Amino acid sequence: MRAMVSRLNSAVSGLFLFAFVAVMPTLVQAQSVNEGQSVRALTTDSSGALLVLRQSGLFALDSQNTTEIPLPPSDSGAQPRSMAKGADGSLYLSGPGLGIWRYDEASKRWQSLNDTLPDLGVTAIAAHATQAKTLYAYLGASGMFRSRNGGAEWVKVDSGPREPVQAFLHSDMPGSMESGWLFAGTTRGVARSMDCFCFWGDAGELRGTVSAIDYDPSAPENVYAVIEGQLHHSSDGGETWAGLEIPQAVTALTFSPSEGLVVGTKNGELLSRNASGEWVPVYE
Amino acid sequence: MNKWSFPLVLLIAPALVMAGGAPTNSGSVPAEVTEGRQIYEQYCAACHGWQGEGAADWNKPDEKGEMPPPPHDETGHTWRHSDAMLFRMIAEGWRHPFNKTDRLTMPAFEDILTDQEIQSVINYLKTLWTEDQRRYQQNESQE
């Protein structure tokens, strides 16, 4: 009997040790993913959870949990860089060497949308604000592409602004000849065109390399752009800009249904404004 | 337009239309294209140019803060719009939302031209585009 108890004891101890060794790295990783790693891109999913792209991976974040979403399969040189949320809530991910992928929440799998793209050098994507099947992609030297069927077929529509595009946005701000506006963050500032691709002009006189751009869907004239870590705001659709004071260098931004404007920082933090307008950590 | 220029336009319009690559198989110019050119000459050319070349520096605001009339030839963006959108622009007019003035810089023609006449102008404009642009615009019109 004593031998049996002893054997059981050591089996249970072994099981605990195994479980500890197996689970510990995940716990350590889960704790460290959000610390110190610059936020590359931000968006929200169909339920309003924040989706945070860092070097270590992609994470869904709500007030309760943080869940890692495995990235799509790709070559080692691929650089996930840009995310967009479709009008139907679909998540799109892109980057140089990666092309464009859509995440299917039901099956938890990524679907490649690269069949008709000329190459995988996608530096920026945008999803139409109101048309779920319309997507835009910028492929550097290959120019700008549009798909009207959810990525099944891409058609080159334009060369894009003169300077290379780093960030891309479709907005349903009123006043367009067609269905909205395109804002492109370039190495020179923000360029703007109606979504007919009629012509690209300067959106105001903001100058510098734009690394992120977004707008307030509930007040579409409000556009936000990041230049060298500094957040800028336009309340007139990009005609004039003003810098916003923020305690850290900003690297990404999005609009959350619950938090409003959320920024990701170089230090890895996520900040939003409280009722007093102060920047505070999200979900704290 | 003086009294001689209109007949002159009628005389040279077919040749110009052919040079612009009119979409015809027989070599003859469809009547509505000819009509469209006549209407264009009468109502549109003063601002958008006799050859559809648009105003100089059309893609920058002028001294009044208004976007100048764009070209309708292959250098502009008219070919990027569907037939329905072009019809609406001509009928209802247009003001660029970032103009510093409130007036319609593109006047409304719905009380001046019939629907058929507006359509004829659009058909004429198509002769100013490249084959690729016509194909693109046809796709836009079918969306």
User: What pLDDT score was predicted for residue A36?
Assistant: 76
Cβ-nearest to A198 among B80, B97, B143: B80
pLDDT band at A77 (very low <50, low <70, confident <90, very high): confident
pLDDT band at A82 (very low <50, low <70, confident <90, very high): very high
A186 CA to chain B: closest CA distance, Å?
A: 19
The Cα A138–Cα A129 span in angstroms is 17
- B49 phi-psi bin (left φ>0, alpha ψ -120 to 50, beta other): left
Identity of the residue numbered A266: K
A232 CA to chain B: closest CA distance, Å?
A: 20
User: What pLDDT score was predicted for residue A283?
Assistant: 81
A148 CA to chain B: closest CA distance, Å?
A: 9
A255 CA to chain B: closest CA distance, Å?
A: 25
Cβ-nearest to B143 among A148, A175, A197: A148
Strands A181-186 and A39-44: unpaired
> What integer is the mean pLDDT of A89-112?
95
Cβ-nearest to B80 among A174, A196, A201: A196
Q: What is the pTM of this model?
A: 0.84
| Three-class secondary structure of residue A238 per DSSP | coil
Query: Is residue B24 over pLDDT 70?
Result: no
Cβ-nearest to A199 among B77, B94, B97: B77
Contacts (Cβ under 8 Å, ≥6 apart) of A174: A220, B97
DSSP string, A33-69: TTSSPPEEEEEE-TTS-EEEEETTEEEEE-SS-EEEE
> What integer is the mean pLDDT of B37-57?
97
Cβ neighbours around A244 below 10 Å, total: 16
pLDDT tens-digit profile of A22-35?
A: 444 444 444 444 55
User: What pLDDT score was predicted for residue B12?
Assistant: 43
Q: Which domains does chain B have, with CATH numbers?
A: 5-142 (1.10.760.10)
Determine which of A133, A145, A196 to mutate to test the interface with B (most B C-beta atoms within 10 Å).
A196
pLDDT band at B17 (very low <50, low <70, confident <90, very high): very low
**Closest residue, chain A, to B78 (C-alpha):** A198
- B92 phi-psi bin (left φ>0, alpha ψ -120 to 50, beta other): alpha
User: What pLDDT score was predicted for residue A64?
Assistant: 83
Stronger pLDDT, A223 or A13, i.e. the higher one: A223
- Whether chain B has a CB inside 8 Å of the CB on A178: the answer is yes
Instruction: Using the CB atoms, write b or e for A155-190: b if 16+ within 10 Å.
Output: eebbebbebbbbbbbbbbbeebbeebbbbbbbebbb
- Whether chain A has a CB inside 8 Å of the CB on B98: the answer is yes
- Whether chain B has a CB inside 8 Å of the CB on A237: the answer is yes
- Whether chain A has a CB inside 8 Å of the CB on B94: the answer is yes
pLDDT band at B46 (very low <50, low <70, confident <90, very high): very high
pLDDT band at B38 (very low <50, low <70, confident <90, very high): very high
User: What pLDDT score was predicted for residue A173?
Assistant: 97
Query: Is residue A202 over pLDDT 50?
Result: yes
pLDDT tens-digit profile of B92-108?
A: 999 999 999 999 999 99
pLDDT band at A232 (very low <50, low <70, confident <90, very high): very high
Phi and psi at A167, nearest 5°, equal -150, 150
A174 CA to chain B: closest CA distance, Å?
A: 8
pLDDT band at B29 (very low <50, low <70, confident <90, very high): confident
The Cα B47–Cα B40 span in angstroms is 10
- Whether chain B has a CB inside 8 Å of the CB on A198: the answer is yes
Q: Which residues of chain B have a CB within 8 Å of the CB of A175?
A: 97-98
The CATH superfamily label for domain A38-281 reads YVTN repeat-like/Quinoprotein amine dehydrogenase (2.130.10.10)
Cβ–Cβ below 8 Å for B59 and A199 = yes
Helix (H) or strand (E) holding A250: strand A250-256
Contacts (Cβ under 8 Å, ≥6 apart) of A126: A84, A135, A136, A137, A168, A169, A170, A182
User: What pLDDT score was predicted for residue A141?
Assistant: 84
> What integer is the mean pLDDT of A249-269?
96
Cβ–Cβ below 8 Å for B89 and A198 = no
Tell me which residue of A86, A83, A149 sits closest to A115, measured CA to CA.
A149
**Closest residue, chain B, to A175 (C-alpha):** B97
**Closest residue, chain A, to B67 (C-alpha):** A201
> What integer is the mean pLDDT of A38-51?
95
Q: Which residues of chain A have a CB within 8 Å of the CB of B60?
A: 201
Cβ–Cβ below 8 Å for B80 and A175 = no
- Whether chain B has a CB inside 8 Å of the CB on A132: the answer is no
**Closest residue, chain A, to B87 (C-alpha):** A177
User: What pLDDT score was predicted for residue A6?
Assistant: 58
Would you kindly state where each structural domain of chain A is located, as residue ranges?
A: 1-32, 38-281
- Whether chain B has a CB inside 8 Å of the CB on A14: the answer is no
* Mean per-residue pLDDT over chain A, rounded: 90
- Whether chain A has a CB inside 8 Å of the CB on B80: the answer is yes
User: What pLDDT score was predicted for residue A7?
Assistant: 64
pLDDT tens-digit profile of B57-93?
A: 999 999 999 999 999 999 999 999 999 999 999 999 9
